[in-house]
Amino acid sequence: MVYNTSSNRIVDLESEIQASDEVDATQIASIMPVRRALVKFPDFERPAPDDPDETDEEQSEDDKYVEDSIHGIVADFAAQQKYTLEVRMDQFATDVDAWNAVVADPSLALVSARYDGTNENADNAELNPGDTVRLLNPATGDIVEKTVAGRLETIEVGFNVLWGVIVGADAFQQEFSESSFRGDAPRLFVMNVNDDVNLADFGKDIEKALISTGAPVRVVREVLTDELEEVSTFLRIFQGFLAFGLIVGVAGLAVIATRSVYQRRQGIGMLRALGFQPSMVLASLLIEWSFIALVGILLGVGLGFLGGYRLYALFIRDAGGAFTVNWFELIWISALVYIASLVFTIIPALKASRMPPVEALRQQE
């Protein structure tokens, strides 16, 4: 994506690229401008200011209205969109049909998930398919009416290009160009390239071609990778703390085993006096401590499943993500913890198995 700056605005990105020798234009599949302007909702009011010094008299009438962004998109963008609609008008069989209709029909608009009736900053406004919404152009004071064709799903993660209200490019130019953030120029250009193109290198070439304008270029895949890497780093830190917890748990089991042998030496000596072989004592103790270790592992895995699914339900499920389990990692970590528990407890178990029968005659301290 190529963003327009406030000083050097690009109106026709394709011409800028063709005028440069830095980029092979044949590698570009499509260039889709996205325009953005300020819009207000005269039927919805913003929450009262927290500052008691800011009185209603100090605000103009339209300053009380909920404000947002309105975006104008072209047909190519609508056909290739990746935004899923939570709800749409019954006349549209698919989400793509709704997007294409918004571009073709200036009376239609899409709204973001902010208008699902739960956002206090949007006056808890609920806009459903088929509803009529009034939009105010703050630059001219004109009010237009749009029919809501659909409402976007909540985007929990990802690279968000559109929010607020979405209309076709022609409707945007006719009704909201005066309040555009970049004048006659689009806010940004979404660029699709051929599948065999190296995105990182191509992005650098685009920056070189547009160096005179200072337009920033963002490779969406790299941005998403960086965001996911930040999340992964946090999760790895969390895993590190959990690993320390496992080490403490295994060490605690070893301490309990050592203390258990000391406290039960009379009973173990009595078993030896009754004819129990060292191997039998060793096996009984290892079975006992293995049971404790396995119960702890199963409880940890179960609680981990419940906690992980809870986080998934809160943050990922609504965004369309799937709940997956890395079974290989889960199995080898569980096996490693079990083996470590055996290693740490086998020494006191061996000591107990070699205990002579005379220990049964000693007084418990």
Q: Are 74 and 190 in contact (CB under 8 A)?
A: no
State pLDDT tens for residues 68-122.
999 999 988 888 777 889 999 999 999 999 999 999 999 999 999 889 888 887 8
**pLDDT band per the 50, 70, 90 thresholds, residue 291:** very high
Mean pLDDT lowest among 51-55, 265-269, 308-312, 348-352? 51-55
State pLDDT tens for residues 326-359.
899 899 999 999 999 999 889 888 888 888 877 6
Average pLDDT over residues 237-242: 86
**Whether pLDDT at 136 is above 70:** yes
**pLDDT band per the 50, 70, 90 thresholds, residue 51:** low
Average pLDDT over residues 124-129: 90
State pLDDT tens for residues 158-187.
556 788 899 999 999 899 988 887 777 787
Q: Are 159 and 223 in contact (CB under 8 A)?
A: yes
Going from N- to C-terminal start, the domains of the chain cover 2-218, 225-361
State pLDDT tens for residues 199-238.
888 888 888 888 877 788 888 778 777 777 887 888 889 8
**Whether pLDDT at 365 is above 60:** no
Average pLDDT, the chain: 84
